[in-house]
């Protein structure tokens, strides 16, 4: 991780631009640009109002010093309408900035979601990139922080620059010269309060960077550990039944406790460093309140300026200092921002690498399934199957068997076009359907489960008939119920739901990767008979260990390991 962080430091702004640019050149660029222009204009309006308030300070405090009651109330009236204008500008500046954040986050989230789903990136990423942990957290949280921090920091920097430009001339003019004797000569420094503000801010910024530098790495690590802990919690929820059957509560408690201790350990280090930074920034900020009065008071006592002039100097000094201490006040946010960019940049690079991997793309073919010169490997390069070739015609059914670890399921992943560690050629019809050993049960109604991945609604009678065919007639009355079906249905029932999907889709090619392994043999036999009867012309490829499956197939492939195989 240290090397990755050093790389990301060198490429911080390049990574930032690569992440930010797509939105600002997208189809929403004109609307986004208009919103950003409005926010910038309102931000500049806030600075302008601060300049007006600064001028008001001189008039108001002079009326107090001169005991000018009429001038006092006139100043109060002016303050009232100045404050009203300021409030309107500030409210709309904040509102439009939040609106821009929401729109940018929506677009960026959809963009990353699409990239994650395209080319099975969500699947390949776990095979090719062990550094990109918890992609869900990067999409859900890191993008949100990236957008909000980018806008907040960039607009804050803009306001700081404009404030500095606006008030630096005011402070120069107000502070006047500072005369003092040294080495037998009289020295005079023009605009001395400006130089004091510059030096004060420079010293504070340098010390802040020195104290807070470790916060970047600590924030990066904290986000990673928080995501790992959350992932462990999700795993317990997703595997609740298995854990309960194993009575694995003690082990799960140990795992959760260990991961949370990692979170706490880094958090304690982080808040310790933040405490050290807060000691200095709080002290420096409080000193900045009284410091310009200490420096400017001699001119007041010398009657070179009035009270209003001193308060105007103090206000101008504060504005110049605030603009220059941007790094001091924003250091924690800058540290989080950099960590977020690092994480998103790593995620994006991982998606790019995963998408660049070559897989065997099947060529279209009518009523046949061809495989030629297939070589299937594990990620470490070990060959599972070598020079494999077979051809299946309409209605033929191939059973793939062999010992565990000989490449049966990996072969099916290769045939499906999702396994990147293979080469060769395949050809089959476009409507092939692949069923895995653990079917996917999406969130939603039972009707949506049965129709997945289709979105077209199917009538109740058809779905009830399908449920009857797969021996789940008791579910026919629950088609529109929304529930956690992956927990309610047993694995065998979930596999029967997957068979129902195949009967609904009626594909020309049906591939089953131990898709009936959790179903009792009599029901398994009945389901295969139903598939053969209802899909008489379909090409079927099955992976399974049971010898009873041979009765439903007429071609056989024996995977023998180390690249060897036998076809009959």
- What is the rounded average pLDDT of the residues 523-533? 93
Q: Which residue has the higher pLDDT, 474 or 237?
A: 474
Task: Name the pLDDT band for 102 (thresholds 50, 70, 90).
Answer: very high
- What is the rounded average pLDDT of the residues 285-307? 70
- pLDDT surpassing 60 at residue 9: no
- pLDDT surpassing 50 at residue 217: yes
Cα–Cα distances in angstroms (integers) from residue 99 to residues 34, 82, 93, 109, 125, in the given order: 12, 26, 10, 15, 33
pLDDT, residue 495, reads 92
Q: Which residue has the higher pLDDT, 562 or 321?
A: 562
- What is the rounded average pLDDT of the residues 349-354? 78
pLDDT, residue 88, reads 93
- pLDDT surpassing 60 at residue 1: no
Task: Name the pLDDT band for 4 (thresholds 50, 70, 90).
Answer: very low
pLDDT, residue 354, reads 73
Among 331, 335, 355, 338, CA closest to 19:
338
pLDDT, residue 198, reads 76
pLDDT, residue 236, reads 79
* DSSP characters over 205-233: HHHHHHHHTTHHHHHHHHHHHHHHHHHHH
Task: Name the pLDDT band for 300 (thresholds 50, 70, 90).
Answer: low
Q: Which residue has the higher pLDDT, 390 or 65?
A: 390
pTM: 0.66
Among 338, 350, 351, CA closest to 222:
338
Q: Where are the alpha helices (DSSP H) in 239-325?
A: 240-246, 249-301, 307-324
Q: Among 64-73, 239-248, 418-427, 556-565, name the one with the lowest average pLDDT.
A: 239-248
SS3 22: helix
- What is the rounded average pLDDT of the residues 530-553? 91
pLDDT, residue 199, reads 80
| Contacts of the segment 159-163: beta carbons below 8 A, 24+ positions apart | 159/43, 159/46, 159/47, 159/323, 160/322, 160/323, 160/324, 160/326, 161/323, 162/43, 162/44, 162/47, 163/47, 163/50, 163/319, 163/320, 163/322, 163/323
SS3 397: strand
pLDDT, residue 6, reads 45
Q: Among 134-148, 346-360, 430-444, name the one with the lowest average pLDDT.
A: 346-360
Cis peptide before 549 (omega within 30 of 0): no
How far is the C-alpha of 207 from the C-alpha of 153, rounded, in Å?
20
Task: Name the pLDDT band for 246 (thresholds 50, 70, 90).
Answer: low
SS3 479: coil
pLDDT, residue 305, reads 66
- Write out pLDDT tens, residues 161-194: 887 777 777 667 666 666 666 666 666 667 667 7
- What is the rounded average pLDDT of the residues 103-111? 91
pLDDT, residue 175, reads 66
Query: In the chain, which residues fall in CATH 1.20.1560.10?
Result: 2-356
State the residue for tokens 């009857």: 468
How far is the C-alpha of 72 from the C-alpha of 54, rounded, in Å?
16
Say what percent of the chain tops pLDDT 70. 86
- What is the rounded average pLDDT of the residues 506-511? 92
Task: Name the pLDDT band for 328 (thresholds 50, 70, 90).
Answer: low
pLDDT, residue 41, reads 92
Task: Name the pLDDT band for 7 (thresholds 50, 70, 90).
Answer: very low
Phi, psi at 86, each rounded to 5°: -60, -45
User: What burial class does residue 370 get, using C-beta atoms within 10 Å of its C-beta: 0-12 exposed, 13-18 middle, 19+ buried?
Assistant: middle
Task: Name the pLDDT band for 272 (thresholds 50, 70, 90).
Answer: confident
What class is the 363-567 domain? Answer: alpha beta
Question: What's the mean pLDDT when you consider all of the chain?
Answer: 82
Q: Among 5-9, 70-74, 76-80, 246-250, name the one with the lowest average pLDDT.
A: 5-9
Query: In the chain, which residues fall in CATH 3.40.50.300?
Result: 363-567
User: H-helix or E-strand containing 401?
Assistant: strand 397-402
Q: Which residue has the higher pLDDT, 321 or 410?
A: 410
Pick the CATH number of 2-356 from 1.20.1740.10, 1.20.1560.10, 3.40.50.720, 3.60.40.10: 1.20.1560.10
**What is the tally of helices (H) and strands (E) in the chain?**
19, 12
pLDDT, residue 131, reads 65
Q: Among 224-238, 414-428, 479-493, name the one with the lowest average pLDDT.
A: 224-238
């Amino acid at each position: 991780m240290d090397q990755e962080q050093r790389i990301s430091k060198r490429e911080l702004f390049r990574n930032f631009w690569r992440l930010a640019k797509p939105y600002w050149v997208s189809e929403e660029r004109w609307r986004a640009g208009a919103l950003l222009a409005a926010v910038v204009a309102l931000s500049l309006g806030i600075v302008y109002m601060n300049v007006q308030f600064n001028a008001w300070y001189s008039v108001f405090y002079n009326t107090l010093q001169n005991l000018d009651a009429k001038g006092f109330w006139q100043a109060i009236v002016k303050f009232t309408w100045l404050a009203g204008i300021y409030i309107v500008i500030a409210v709309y500046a904040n509102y439009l900035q939040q609106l821009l954040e929401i729109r940018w986050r929506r677009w960026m989230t959809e963009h990353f979601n699409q990239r994650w789903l395209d080319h099975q990136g969500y699947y390949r990423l776990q095979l090719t990139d062990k550094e990109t942990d918890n992609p869900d957290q990067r999409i859900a949280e890191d993008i949100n922080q990236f957008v909000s921090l980018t806008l907040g920091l960039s607009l804050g920097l803009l306001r700081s620059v404009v404030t500095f430009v606006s008030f630096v001339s005011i402070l120069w003019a107000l502070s006047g010269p500072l005369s003092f004797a040294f080495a037998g000569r009289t020295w005079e420094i023009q605009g001395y309060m400006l130089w004091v503000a510059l030096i004060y801010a420079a010293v504070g910024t340098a010390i802040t960077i020195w104290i807070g530098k470790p916060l970047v790495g600590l924030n990066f690590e904290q986000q990673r550990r928080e995501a790992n802990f959350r992932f462990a919690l999700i795993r317990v929820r997703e595997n609740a039944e298995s854990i309960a059957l194993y009575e694995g509560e003690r082990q799960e408690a140990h795992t959760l406790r260990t991961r949370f201790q990692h979170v706490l350990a880094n958090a304690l280090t982080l808040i310790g460093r933040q405490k050290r930074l807060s000691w200095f920034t709080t002290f420096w900020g409080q000193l900045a309140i009284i410091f310009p009065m200490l420096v400017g008071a001699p001119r007041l006592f010398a009657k070179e300026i009035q009270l209003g002039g001193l308060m105007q100097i103090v206000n101008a000094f504060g504005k110049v200092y605030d603009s220059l201490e941007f790094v001091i006040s924003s250091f924690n946010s800058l540290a989080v921002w950099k960590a977020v960019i690092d994480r998103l940049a790593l995620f994006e690079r991982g998606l790019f690498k995963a998408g660049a991997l070559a897989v065997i793309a099947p060529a279209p073919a009518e009523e046949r399934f061809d495989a030629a010169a297939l070589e299937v490997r594990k990620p470490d390069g070990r060959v599972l199957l070598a020079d494999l070739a077979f051809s299946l015609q309409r209605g033929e059914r191939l059973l793939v068997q062999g010992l565990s670890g000989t490449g049966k399921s990996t072969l099916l992943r290769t045939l499906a076009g999702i396994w990147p560690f293979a080469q060769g050629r395949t050809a089959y019809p476009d409507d092939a359907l692949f069923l895995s050993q653990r079917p996917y049960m999406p969130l939603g109604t039972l009707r949506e489960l049965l129709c997945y991945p289709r979105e077209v609604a199917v009538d109740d009678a058809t779905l009830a008939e399908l449920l009857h065919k797969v021996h789940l007639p008791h579910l026919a009355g629950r088609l529109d119920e929304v529930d956690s079906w992956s927990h309610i249905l047993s694995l065998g029932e979930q596999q029967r739901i997957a068979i129902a999907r195949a009967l609904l889709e009626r594909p020309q090619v049906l591939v089953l990767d131990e898709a009936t392994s959790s179903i009792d043999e009599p029901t398994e036999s009945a389901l295969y008979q139903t598939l053969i009867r209802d899909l008489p012309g379909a090409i079927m490829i099955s992976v399974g260990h049971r010898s009873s499956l041979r009765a439903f197939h007429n071609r056989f492939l024996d995977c023998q390991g180390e690249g060897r195989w036998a076809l009959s």
